[in-house]
Chains A and B, each alone.
Chain A
């Protein structure tokens, strides 16, 4: 396994982890753009644009794009978050050139009005689908509540109103402002001929113009507000708690990952024993989301409405206890084993290395092999976690309820 990198004159960076023995390869683009880079008027445009990226170019119609991916047997998709949009495909080695040419062409899309009009309906269906899933909706609402006016509170999907009102020209303007080669990273992993790969990227992408797009970066501790949205049609009470956490650039992020695992892994964690083992809640977990310049812990709870106050109270006590007493050596070892094993297992597949490689570059402009990452993880001590808890102590919790309850707490 060998790491390679190259930056073209226009700023497009290519990073690769070459594994000559792999039976497949994964490749695709990360673009540093998402919900936080939108104004209120065009809320949802990043995600809608991600869909439109598959709708063809000067050379290809939408149907031709889909057929071409299928002819390679590609396992391909894309995702949009608050701050990144990624496009990727896993293919057999003989299709790497074809997949690369296709992605490079698609990332300069035509954005035709006819396609835009049909796809708008698909986006509205996606919004409707998530509206029927309160377990997602509550996280979205809580993020907005937690971040207040900070850009990280922006919705990724947008609303029915903003999507309905959005015009194709606005999307074209947004594309032109964000999909600059110096705002993108091309990542490849697996069975790839690097020199040949870079030569082809030069051919396909050298003409892309760079214009140094900017992003507003600031940390934000969270509003600590409480909001309850009562909806009788929902069966359970869905509760999200958020607290500030280290950013993606912080050296505390491994400590934060381990802490969230100790508190809220879906088995054998503090929240699990207090709430799930005892059948008070059907879900009680904690996730750590490291972001550009800021970060957040998300705790998700789901229970019967009659038990909501009790469940919320127990969860808060779990956080208070961690704040006062820290974590134990034994818990830390258990969580290290779980996370290290997860990283090792996913690292056996090219697709499993694609995302960590992309994020290491997008956020930190640094390469870390799987072995480097494991070493950093194993190096975290109880002292490190307790030191982090002094700064990120779960004392200022933002709380969003969604379900039959009229009020919480």
Chain B
């Protein structure tokens, strides 16, 4: 595997390139320091509106021309906002990467941001928010993060109705000026590419981009609120969160393995106890994730009103029970699962571009797949149980949507 190359431009933009053998595709993953944590108080939803608005025309092209250009490249595209960043990622045939990135330089530096288009973006954001009422599985994790974190973190990217209504065109212009900014921005590219040529191409397109130095965001803190939203549905949707370590902590991989034991494959504890043995749900799982620098473990289950309390109790018990011990076989299964998904990730340029940008955003460097693999394979049963003991859930943030409240 080729080495990952990293280079920083004078304007603060970090470039990352990972050349890959045996693929013809090229993927990019761009992070701009324009996440929800940067929204002013009372303007939640602005970050996400901006990811829509910036593509509605540049100095040279209107919205339709820009869309047609992107389509002509066969670009497969995703954009969105999280706490720290707005992300723009795409995959296409590698020889067209340059053209795709050039269009992004236009979008990040020379977007039109017309008032009429802003109004449409705001209306779209309201429509999207409203549609989540019919999608409780999506809505529950948003509510759960907000319950768990203290502001400015945990805010949903989709925003809140009153706050979206309060956002003005001027707010949008200011947000673009301040946070569509090369300081702290990352462009990662992976696939059938050559690192030096890729850097030269990025520098040519983004080298003249300038922006102010941004304030450092406050440290993340959690608060553990609970909430219940009444909805006469066929299932009660339950999310539970408790704090864990972050990626800088020496126990990080122990935490990852612990969650894989709970929810890696279909032989893992949650699937076995909640679904296979008791038939309490269709969908159940847990994940280890981070919001800014706060690590957390989140579980989800959806279950009928007559079974939901039992499903919640069994799940809580499984989280607590980790500290009472795990078997060698369980750890081996978790390791193999993590290793296989790492190797399969290494086959996909999109997964690698995202991995490079994500690692750099969190760590200021990019871990090689070998480094991650070694850290996982070196873990012992005592390591993982030790982590579970030190990180016992003292209280859960419990968020529910459904026909009745649980205890």
Binding site for B on A (CB under 8 A): 21-24, 54, 62-63, 66-75, 90-92, 118-129, 131-135, 233-236, 238, 267-268, 273, 276-279, 281-283, 302-304, 330, 333-335, 337-338, 340-342, 344-345, 348-349
Which of B72, B135, B333, B340 touches A75 (beta carbons < 8 Å)? B340
- A-facing residues in B274-307 (Cβ within 8 Å): 275-283, 302-304, 307
Interface members, chain B 74-93 (any A CB < 8 Å): 74-77, 91-93
- Of the listed residues A70, A72, A126, A127, the one surrounded by the most CB atoms of chain B closer than 10 A to its CB is A70
Cα–Cα distance between A129 and B284 once the two chains are bound (Å): 12
Point out the residues of chain A lying under 8 angstroms from B126, CB to CB.
Answer: 279
- Specify which chain A residues have a CB less than 8 angstroms from the CB of B275 in the assembled complex: 122
Contact across chains for A74 and B340 when beta carbons are under 8 A apart = yes
Q: Does B8 contact A (CB under 8 A)?
A: no
With A92-B340, A277-B120 as contacts: A282 and B128 at CB distance below 8 Å: yes
Interface string of B227-264 (1 = CB under 8 A from A): 00001111101000000000000000000000000001
Q: Determine the chain B residues whose CB is within 8 A of the CB of A304 once the complex forms.
A: 127, 130
Report chain A residues within 8 Å CB of B71.
Answer: 268, 334-335, 337-338
Q: Max chain A CB contacts within 10 Å: which of B77, B137, B233?
A: B233
Is B279 a contact of A121 with CB atoms below 8 Å?
yes
**Contact at B131–A302, with CB atoms within 8 Å?**
yes
Say how far A155's CB is from chain B's closest CB, in angstroms.
16
Look across to chain B and name the residue whose beta carbon is closest to the beta carbon of A51: B282
C-alpha gap A18/B197 in the complex (Å): 33
Q: Name B residues whose Cβ lies closer than 8 Å to a Cβ of A.
A: 22-25, 63-64, 67-68, 70-77, 91-93, 120-121, 123-124, 126-128, 130-131, 133-137, 231-235, 237, 264-268, 271-272, 275-283, 302-304, 307, 329, 332-333, 336-341, 343-344, 346-350
Known: A69-B265, A129-B234. A283 touches B131 (CB 8 A): yes
Q: Assuming the A-B contacts A133-B137, A273-B64, are A66 and B340 also in contact, with contact meaning beta carbons closer than 8 angstroms in the complex? A: no
Q: How far is the CB of B188 from chain A (nearest CB, A)?
A: 17
B124: which A residues are within 8 A, CB to CB? 276, 279, 282
- Chain A nearest CB, measured from B13 CB (Å): 26
Output the nearest chain A residue to B23 by Cβ-Cβ distance. Answer: A348
Contact of A63 (CB < 8 Å), options: B23, B267, B282, B338: B267
Write the chain A residue with the least CB distance to B74: A341
Q: Which of A125, A276, A277 has the most CB of B within 10 A?
A: A125
Q: How far is the CA of A118 from the CA of B234 in the complex (A)?
A: 19
Query: Which of chain A's residues has its CB closest to B303's CB?
Result: A125
Question: Which residues from chain A contact B77 at a C-beta distance below 8 Å?
Answer: 267
B308 to chain A, nearest CB (A): 10
B120 and A279 contacting across the interface, CB-CB below 8 Å: yes
Minimum CB–CB distance for B290 against chain A, Å: 24
User: Is B64's CB under 8 angstroms from A235's CB?
Assistant: no
Whether A236 and B68, one on each chain, are in contact in the complex, defined by CB atoms closer than 8 angstroms, is no
A127–B76 Cα distance when bound, in Å, is: 32
Known A-B contacts: A128-B302, A282-B127. Give 20 more (CB < 8 A): A23-B344, A54-B266, A66-B267, A67-B267, A68-B267, A118-B278, A123-B282, A125-B302, A125-B303, A126-B282, A132-B137, A235-B133, A268-B67, A279-B121, A279-B127, A337-B71, A341-B73, A342-B76, A344-B24, A349-B348
Residue of A54, A70, A127 touching B333 (CB-CB under 8 A): A70
Docked-complex contact A72 and B336, CB < 8 angstroms: yes
B72→A133 contact, CB < 8 A: no
Q: If A122-B275, A337-B73 touch, does A348 touch B25 (CB 8 Å cutoff)? A: yes
Interface-centre pick from A23, A54, A337 (highest chain B CB count, 10 A): A337
Residues of B within 8 A of A330 (CB): 68
CB contacts (< 8 Å) of A281 on chain B: these are 127
Roughly how many angstroms separate A278 CA and B333 CA in the complex, as a whole number? 50
Check A334 against B120 for contact (C-beta < 8 Å). no
Tell me whether A70 and B268 are in contact (CB under 8 A).
yes
On chain A, the residues within 8 Å of B234 by CB distance are 127-129, 131-132
Nearest chain A residue, comparing its CB with the CB of B351 = A349
- Chain B's nearest CB lies how many Å from the CB of A285? 14
Q: Is the CB of A135 within 8 A of B135?
A: yes
Contacts of B349 in A (CB 8 A): 348
Contacting pair A122 B279 (CB below 8 A): yes
- A348 to B191, alpha carbons, bound, how many Å? 11
Which residues of B lie under 8 Å from residue A132 when comparing CB positions? 136-137, 233-235, 237, 302
> Could you tell me the distance between the alpha carbons of A119 and B280 in the complex, rounded to whole angstroms?
10
Contact of A279 among B123, B136, B233, B264 (CB under 8 A): B123
List B contacts of A54 (CB < 8 A).
266
What distance in Å separates the Cβ of A350 from its nearest Cβ neighbour in chain B? 8
| A274 CB, min distance to chain B CBs, angstroms | 12
Query: How far apart sit A129 and B271, CA to CA, in the bound complex (Å)?
Result: 17
Q: Please pick, from B93, B271, B347, the residue contacting A23 in the complex, using a CB distance under 8 A.
A: B347
Within the complex, what minimum Cβ distance (angstroms) separates B56 from chain A?
8
| Contacting residue for B232 out of A233, A236, A276, CB 8 A | A233
CA distance A302 to B135 in the complex (A): 12
Instruction: Known A122-B281, A125-B304, A277-B120; judge A334-B72 contact (CB<8 A).
Output: yes
- Docked complex Cα distance between A153 and B275 (Å): 30
Chain A positions within 8 Å of B128 at CB level: 282
Residue of B nearest to A24 (CB): B344
Q: B338 — which chain A residues lie within 8 A by C-beta?
A: 73
Would A268 and B137 be within 8 Å (CB), given that A92-B340, A118-B279, A235-B130 are in contact? no
Q: Which single residue of chain B is at the shortest CB-CB distance from A339?
A: B74
A133:B134 contact, CB within 8 angstroms: yes
| List of A residues within 8 angstroms of B304 by Cβ | 124-125, 128
The answer for the CA separation of A92 and B336 in the assembled complex, in Å, is: 10
User: What is the distance, in angstroms, from B135's C-beta to the closest C-beta of chain A?
Assistant: 7
A250 → chain B closest CB, angstroms: 25
A and B contact pairs by CB, cutoff 8 A, 20 listed: A23-B346, A24-B344, A66-B267, A66-B276, A69-B266, A70-B264, A72-B340, A118-B278, A122-B275, A125-B302, A128-B234, A128-B304, A132-B237, A233-B233, A236-B130, A236-B134, A279-B121, A282-B131, A341-B74, A348-B25
The answer on a CB contact under 8 Å between B340 and A128 is: no
B336 interface neighbour in A73, A279, A348, Cβ under 8 Å: A73
Closest residue of chain B to A68 (Cβ to Cβ) is B267
B235, B280, B333: the one within 8 Å of A67 (CB): B333
Q: Give chain A residues whose Cβ lies under 8 Å from the Cβ of B231.
A: 233
In the complex, how many angstroms separate the beta carbon of A28 from the nearest chain B beta carbon? 15
Contacts of A118 in B (CB 8 A): 276-279
- The residues of B that contact A338 with a CB separation of less than 8 Å are 71, 74, 76
A74 to B341, CA, bound (A): 9
The docked-state distance in angstroms from the alpha carbon of A235 to that of B127 is 11
A345→B231 CA distance, assembly (Å): 41
What's the nearest-Cβ distance from chain A to residue B68, in Å? 6
Interface centre among A267, A282, A342, A344 (most CB of B within 10 A): A282
4 smallest CB-CB distances across A and B, nearest first, come from A341-B74, A73-B340, A121-B279, A70-B265
A127 contact set on B, CB distance < 8 A: 234
A66 CA to B281 CA, complexed, in Å: 17
User: Which of A236, A281, A342 counts the most B-chain CB atoms under 10 A from its CB?
Assistant: A236
